[in-house]
Structure 1
Amino acid sequence: MLRKLYRCSLKNSNTLIRYNSQVNKNVVSKDLKTANVSLEKSEECFLPKDTKSVLEPLDEDISYISTYLKPTFNFAAYINKSETLQHLLKLGVNLHQIEKNVEDVQFILGLKFEDIKEHIIFLNNLGLATEEIGYLITKNPLLLKEDLENLKIRINYLEYKKFSKEMITRIIKANPFWLTRSTQQIDESLGFFQNHFQLNGNEVRLVAVTCPKLITTKIDKIKVNIFVLREEMGFNYEELKKMLLRKPLIYIKGRDRMLKSFEYLHRDMNIPSERIVEEPEILTCRQKRLIERHSFLSKLGRAQYDPKKPNYVALTSLVSGSDSDFCVDIAKSSVQAYNAFLKSL
């Protein structure tokens, strides 16, 4: 009896489940249809009544609509359309080099040729050739951002300080960043060297023309090198002045590199400080090159750096010239022999 009641209950339960399932399906289906109708009506509110299918042919011209382009830092896409870029290319400006700086790219792309034409004429009047103007702009594109009147004032300042036209041209060629320094900054830098090294007017101009980059270098960096030369290498102020006039570049070289070269000159090559003062360029030589060239001369019995003795070898010859020049002119040997020697080090 119990089994019959259980089977009857189970049968009724299954029937109820199937019924509820069917009802739920009908409800869901009805809800979806209602939602679709509502969605279609809401879409109709936002779409114009004359909207055509994307598959239908168009009657109007849409050729003026271009593909969306993301912001770019490459000039290639603009060269054919930009008069400014075309003129810069004619000047020899290396656009690929400028592309390395995003801000410079954005600045150049925003220029009209009329904005920079007078700047180019100004540089040309300073004595710079076309390719030299191109080099200047490549190295310092923001020069074109400077107010033209300010540039003229900076040149007038140099003329007032008795720099000749040839001197000014040489300075601007050698240091593309000179003209973007204010007159006050240049004056302070020149004043620092004049006062610290007790230079006269001609000596100040000599330093500025010989190494224009020195004048636009931060004074703090120069003070560090003065300290290294004075306190760690032992040169006195008179010797520092002599080295400044002969090779001002040493005052902007890396201190660690100079110290390594100085230590090798003193410890291994037995070069006295007096010789370094006479040929301060030797401090700009990498220690690796000093070791290679001095060791090769030592092997050949030609490492003689005393100018009072026969077969004198100038210290500057260890710095300058190609390996070929060094081997033939200084070592009196061959490049092949030098290369073979280097492999043995």
Structure 2
Amino acid sequence: MLMFLKDIGVEAHRFGYILTHNPFILTESLENLQARVNYLKLKKFSSETVASMVSKAPYLLNFSVKRLDNRLGFFQTQLNVSASNTRDIVARLPRLLCGSLEPVKENLKVLNTKYLRIRERHMFLEYLGKAQYDPALPNYISLDRLVSLPDQDFCTMLALATLEDFYLFQKTL
């Protein structure tokens, strides 16, 4: 198993992390593991990227080729992005492939929102001391409302500030 991980490019210092977080990888046949690596390479992930993905998300190689294909397809269709962009997203956050798809489905609007919009609004709320995203605590702000409300409603309903205050804050960024 360690030779397999080494052969696909995983750095030796990551072996312990991978085996500790996914001891089930030891029950997989080398043929199945190689088939999954080959599939990822077929989908144009570089060898270095595959090694990095396995290092960051040890459960990745436990998924069948069909399941990997379904997950990649889900992200491409739901996020409405190209295959290249899907590869970039998954390469940076390979755990997205391994986790539950429910949080992704629930937050599609957030994932499709421009980063600048989220960043500006979050920083404004943080500046006001109102950036509270834990539903168990008072004054909870849902990510959906953070990104979907028009600026006027965002200011009056979430930030409890004026639109002019928000525009002035944006100029300081």
Please give the TM-score of this superposition, normalised by the length of structure 2.
0.69
C-alpha spacing 1:215/1:242, structure 2 compared with 1 (3 Å) = farther
1:179 to 34, 38, 61: 61
- Counterpart code for 2:159: D
1:256 to 110, 131, 135: 135
2:169 to 275, 299, 306: 306
C-alpha spacing 1:215/1:189, structure 2 compared with 1 (3 Å) = same
State the match for 1:122 in structure 2: 4
State the match for 2:159 in structure 1: 268
- Cα deviation for residue 224 of structure 1 reads 2.5
Q: Deviations over 1:34-63 (max 9, x none)?
A: xxxxxxxxxxxxxxxxxxxxxxxxxxxxxx
- Cα deviation for residue 242 of structure 1 reads 4.0
C-alpha spacing 1:268/1:214, structure 2 compared with 1 (3 Å) = same
- Cα deviation for residue 194 of structure 1 reads 0.9
C-alpha spacing 1:268/1:217, structure 2 compared with 1 (3 Å) = same
Counterpart contact for 1:189–1:215, Cα < 8 Å: yes
- Cα deviation for residue 222 of structure 1 reads 2.2
- Between structures 1 and 2, the one with greater helix share: 2
C-alpha spacing 1:161/1:131, structure 2 compared with 1 (3 Å) = same
Provide the secondary structure at the position in 2 that maps to 1:127. coil
2:31 to 116, 125, 149: 149
The alignment status of 1:240 with 2:112, answered yes or no, reads yes
For 2:15 and 2:162, the matched residues in 1 are separated by 43
Larger radius of gyration: 1
How many residue pairs end up in the alignment?
143
Counterpart contact for 2:10–2:52, Cα < 8 Å: no
The percentage of counterpart residues that share the same residue type is 28
CA RMSD of aligned residues (A): 3.4
- Counterpart code for 1:179: L
Counterpart contact for 2:14–2:55, Cα < 8 Å: yes
- Counterpart code for 1:194: Q
- Cα deviation for residue 307 of structure 1 reads 4.1
C-alpha spacing 1:256/1:185, structure 2 compared with 1 (3 Å) = farther
The alignment status of 1:138 with 2:20, answered yes or no, reads yes
Runs ≥4 residues deviating over 3 A: 254-257, 261-266, 268-272, 304-307
Counterpart contact for 1:158–1:168, Cα < 8 Å: yes
- Cα deviation for residue 240 of structure 1 reads 1.6
- Cα deviation for residue 196 of structure 1 reads 1.6
State the match for 2:79 in structure 1: 197
- Cα deviation for residue 270 of structure 1 reads 5.0
- Counterpart code for 2:85: E
Q: Deviations over 1:189-243 (max 9, x none)?
A: 11011112221121010110111111122223422333xxx4xxxx6xxx72645
For 1:271 and 1:176, the matched residues in 2 are separated by 47
Please give the TM-score of this superposition, normalised by the length of structure 1.
0.36
The alignment status of 1:212 with 2:94, answered yes or no, reads yes
Structure 2: stretches of 5+ with no match in the other structure: 120-132, 147-153
- Cα deviation for residue 129 of structure 1 reads 2.2
Counterpart contact for 1:225–1:255, Cα < 8 Å: no
Answer 1 or 2: higher relative contact order, Cα 8 Å, separation at least 6: 2
State the match for 1:164 in structure 2: 46
After superposition, residues 9-24 of structure 1 pair within 5 angstroms as: none
- Counterpart code for 2:112: L
2:104 to 222, 230, 248: 222
After superposition, residues 86-105 of structure 1 pair within 5 angstroms as: none
Counterpart contact for 1:128–1:169, Cα < 8 Å: yes
For 1:269 and 1:305, the matched residues in 2 are separated by 15
